[in-house]
Structure 1
Amino acid sequence: MLPVILDRTSSEPLPAQLAGQVRALVLVGTLGTGDRLPSSRALAADLGVSRAVTEQAYDQLTAEGWLEARRGSGTYVTATRTTNAAAPQVTSRPTAPTSGPTGVTSGLDTGTPFFDPRLEPGWRRAWREVSVATPPRGYDDPRGLLELREALAARLGRTRGLDLHPDEIIVTAGTTDGLRALLPELRPGPVVVEDPGYRAAAETVLTYGREVIDLPAVETVGDLGDAVAAYVTPAHQHPLGRVMPAADRLALLEAARRADAVVIEDDYDSEFRYDVAPVPAMARLDRSRVVYLGTAAKSVVPTLRLGWLVAPPDLHELILRRRTITHAGAAWPSQRALLTLLRDGWLDRAVRSARRVYAERAPRVAEAMSPYATLAGPLAGMYSTWLLPEMEARRARDAARAAGFEINLLSTYARTSGLAGLVIGFGGVTDAELDRALTALTGALAR
């Protein structure tokens, strides 16, 4: 057993605590190069935590180069302590975010959308209006600006088929803020999260002291057991890209009814279909059972930090009550800017422009990658996911890094599924940059 102690009262997530303490054990020399660590399952049992905690910590340390996973053998220490390095105390301390690998200039990630430079005047105009608008004298409505909620209700009705009253919408500071608002209002119990899936969602669930139960992302759900919620991305499964079939949607809702659980629908990029019309929101099927989460991160910019939440009436009241007491709410300037972008038609133009760009870039990525890997789902959105062995994926990722591009490994989204490959985003780069990245990737895979 490793000499580590996890503090469940700390605001630092358990996986980060564990990774920090193992990292420190290497630095002080307690763990040396070649030492074999306990399996993630055994360590989880020793520490009394879910296996997801130990797996996330091991994944983080592997990505940083401290550990190496050897197939069929185990996990081993690969880093060597620097002799002159000061030995830190083995404590659980938050660490500052590290910068990306040296030389990396562009990220082919799944979260950076295309921003059409022709739309910059409208963007600047929105913020000029914020500068001359009169802000609230005190704390504003915890539901968000009424005018913004009205505009969102109209847009969600038009694009997602949701018939909403503005008072049913709560404006949030993004998807994870919506999760943070929801989780305390659920009864005690674990939360089912897709695997592979959105890492921030699983981490948020763990942060609130709830167990994460892995839901295989491509399987039909017939039973949720004692779970109180199931987090899914049905319109465009993140990161495999699969659309949840209608039969699977109905099966999940029926399982949620039997378990008296809720389905958390993260509708993060449904507008970016270019093969068929956008898939209707799952919330249309049962508003009493589905908590709907939306975001402006993919259609505007992630740093706007805005989203929206629509919950069944009982949860809506609980969430609103807590947000009123704690003065929680999305930033007023961002809300005011988004309102202008919606009213001026800027957001519609931005979505149409990005959709055209993605529809052109996705086939280029497919043409380059198809000889070497298998496409995990239909071409849609601002990224595509490719299945191939982990060692090949890492070799291609390293070649992209050497060329100045950061690309995510599919294995970093997986907890127990064991899937491997590359998740290639194409929203946040230029056409020329995308071509250079694909050349680096395919060159490595061809070797």
Structure 2
Amino acid sequence: MLPVTLDRTSSEPLPAQLAGQVRALVVAGTLGTGDRLPSSRALAADLGVSRAVTEQAYDQLTAEGWLEARRGSGTYVTATRTTTTAAAPQVTSRPTRSTSRPTGVTFGLDTGTPFFDPRLEPGWRRAWREVSVATPPRGYDDPRGLLELREALAARLGRTRGLDLHPDEIIVTAGTTDGLRALLPELRPGPVAVEDPGYRAAAETVLTYGREVIDLPAVETVGDLGDAVAAYVTPAHQHPLGRVMPAADRLALLEAARRADAVVIEDDYDSEFRYDVAPVPALARLDRGRVVYLGTAAKSVVPTLRLGWLVAPPDLHELILRRRTITHAGAAWPSQRALLTLLRDGWLDRAVRSARRVYAERAPRVAEAMSPYATLAGPLAGMYSTWLLPEADARRARDAARAAGFEINLLSTYARTSGLTGLVIGFGGVTDAELDRALAALTGALAR
């Protein structure tokens, strides 16, 4: 029997409680790689719960990479702190690619434009009407952000990401890159490791601050960070490959960061948009003293709201807050006030549920169209999917989509030294009919 206890009076669902406690047992080393867990039926009987509870918990932990189901044998632990495989970091130079949209292109199938349900427009307008009648601060606002917003964010992050936060631990930012800009000056001198392929804005921001970028292979376990002072990762949904960082890789990365005395920068940009299981827990849950957590409203609301949040270990938090106080840095008060209303009214929860349903329907349509011609790089989740194919084929398909009025990104534009090629197809910022036209242009070119 596993040493777990479920609290039926808690607001946290029983499957989530069970998954969290098993996860903690693995992290603590109580359960090691190769340990066989009780069957879902036996564990359900021991805990006095329905089998559905244990099955959901096992399914969640299997999706995250903590457990492995072996047909006819049982369920086994696959990750412990001792699992490491060194990946050789490589130094990259400054990217020089243009990101402007070509003439004649009307629609962008990018990775950053979310679906906006028109049925939610009344709530959106109501939020801004409240901003118009609210009294703004007479002077510079709290550099941490509106207290009421930080309280609402703390509650939401606790509910959706498993982070137990005090509102004063949160700093409201003007988005993910603003959070990164706030953090970089407070790190000790040295290079920053960034996933490759990875988020282009993160690599460019690091370079802008005069730091060297070290490329971390995005599909390999990181066992050594070298002389890097920080490692920027997107563990819940690797950008742009879509891979979920396995549990063993998470533990290996944290161990490598401890040996290098480096921080891990977790960009949790779209973790709410999983279709198969519950959102993968935040990496910051495993080590709050080592992980800097960055979140954003860009994917759940709209990118132009320009809001995000940062949670840093105490020493970095104080340094960031001190500099923001001196420089009067902070997110725009009207945007903060609007987001507060969207959270309080339940608008954001409805927006996420609506978008998740749309993405869950569109992702298989993209997969059905692209599967004959390319290989899916990661699981179907979020508002885009990435397809591996030769660069010549990817460019031919991209050019055909442009001719039809659609801009689709090449995977090679996200890569620095990895050499991976293919297409990154977003499906949040278009209608169903537009998506169908874009897919027809892509597959027509690939079929030829």
Q: Same-fold call, TM > 0.5?
A: yes
Q: Secondary structure at the match of 1:291?
A: strand
Deviation at 1:354, TM superposition (A): 0.1
Q: Secondary structure at the match of 1:386?
A: strand
Q: Secondary structure at the match of 2:289?
A: coil
Deviates more, 1:400-409 or 1:100-109: 100-109
Structure 2 Cα separation of the partners of residues 162 and 26 of structure 1: 18
The residue aligned with 2:230 is 229
- Where do 5+ consecutive residues of structure 2 fail to align? none
Deviation at 1:394, TM superposition (A): 0.3
Structure 2 Cα separation of the partners of residues 65 and 317 of structure 1: 34
When normalised by structure 1's length, the TM-score is: 0.79
Q: Secondary structure at the match of 2:425?
A: strand
Structure 2 Cα separation of the partners of residues 54 and 396 of structure 1: 45
Structure 1 Cα separation of the partners of residues 419 and 446 of structure 2: 20
Structure 1 Cα separation of the partners of residues 419 and 135 of structure 2: 53
Say how many residue pairs are matched.
Answer: 447
- The change in CA–CA distance for 1:212 and 1:124 in structure 2 (over 3 A counts) is same
The residue aligned with 2:316 is 315
Q: Secondary structure at the match of 2:215?
A: strand
CA contact (8 A) 2:94 2:204 kept: no
- The change in CA–CA distance for 1:49 and 1:381 in structure 2 (over 3 A counts) is closer
| CA deviation vs aligned residue, 1:8-65 (integer Å, no higher than 9, x gap) | 9999999999999999999999999999999999999999999999999999999999
| CA deviation vs aligned residue, 1:344-397 (integer Å, no higher than 9, x gap) | 000000000000000000000000000000000000000000000000000000
| CA deviation vs aligned residue, 1:45-104 (integer Å, no higher than 9, x gap) | 999999999999999999999999999999999999999999999999999998521221
CA contact (8 A) 2:41 2:51 kept: yes
Deviates more, 1:62-71 or 1:419-428: 62-71
Structure 2 Cα separation of the partners of residues 21 and 279 of structure 1: 15
CA contact (8 A) 1:374 1:388 kept: yes
| CA deviation vs aligned residue, 1:182-207 (integer Å, no higher than 9, x gap) | 00000000000000000000000000
- The change in CA–CA distance for 1:42 and 1:427 in structure 2 (over 3 A counts) is same
- The change in CA–CA distance for 1:174 and 1:52 in structure 2 (over 3 A counts) is farther
Deviation at 1:125, TM superposition (A): 0.2
Structure 2 Cα separation of the partners of residues 28 and 157 of structure 1: 21
RMSD: 19.2
- The change in CA–CA distance for 1:52 and 1:132 in structure 2 (over 3 A counts) is same
| CA deviation vs aligned residue, 1:327-349 (integer Å, no higher than 9, x gap) | 00000000000000000000000
Q: Secondary structure at the match of 2:90?
A: coil
The residue aligned with 1:359 is 360
Structure 1 Cα separation of the partners of residues 408 and 398 of structure 2: 6
When normalised by structure 2's length, the TM-score is: 0.79
Deviation at 1:275, TM superposition (A): 1.2
- The change in CA–CA distance for 1:379 and 1:6 in structure 2 (over 3 A counts) is closer
CA contact (8 A) 1:405 1:437 kept: yes
Structure 2 Cα separation of the partners of residues 155 and 45 of structure 1: 33
CA contact (8 A) 1:17 1:93 kept: no
Deviates more, 1:58-67 or 1:139-148: 58-67
Q: Secondary structure at the match of 2:194?
A: strand
Structure 1 Cα separation of the partners of residues 414 and 266 of structure 2: 18
Structure 2 Cα separation of the partners of residues 86 and 250 of structure 1: 14
- Where do 5+ consecutive residues of structure 1 fail to align? none
Structure 2 Cα separation of the partners of residues 289 and 89 of structure 1: 23
| CA deviation vs aligned residue, 1:95-137 (integer Å, no higher than 9, x gap) | 9998521221100000000000000000000000000000000
- The change in CA–CA distance for 1:224 and 1:49 in structure 2 (over 3 A counts) is farther
Structure 2 Cα separation of the partners of residues 212 and 306 of structure 1: 25
CA contact (8 A) 2:172 2:308 kept: yes
Structure 1 Cα separation of the partners of residues 253 and 88 of structure 2: 51
CA contact (8 A) 1:111 1:297 kept: yes
Q: Identity of counterpart residues, as a percentage?
A: 97
CA contact (8 A) 1:69 1:75 kept: yes
Deviates more, 1:320-329 or 1:218-227: 218-227
- The change in CA–CA distance for 1:206 and 1:197 in structure 2 (over 3 A counts) is same
CA contact (8 A) 1:14 1:207 kept: no
CA contact (8 A) 1:24 1:88 kept: no
Deviation at 1:276, TM superposition (A): 1.1
| CA deviation vs aligned residue, 1:164-197 (integer Å, no higher than 9, x gap) | 0000000000000000000000000000000000
Structure 2 Cα separation of the partners of residues 277 and 10 of structure 1: 18
Structure 2 Cα separation of the partners of residues 54 and 402 of structure 1: 51
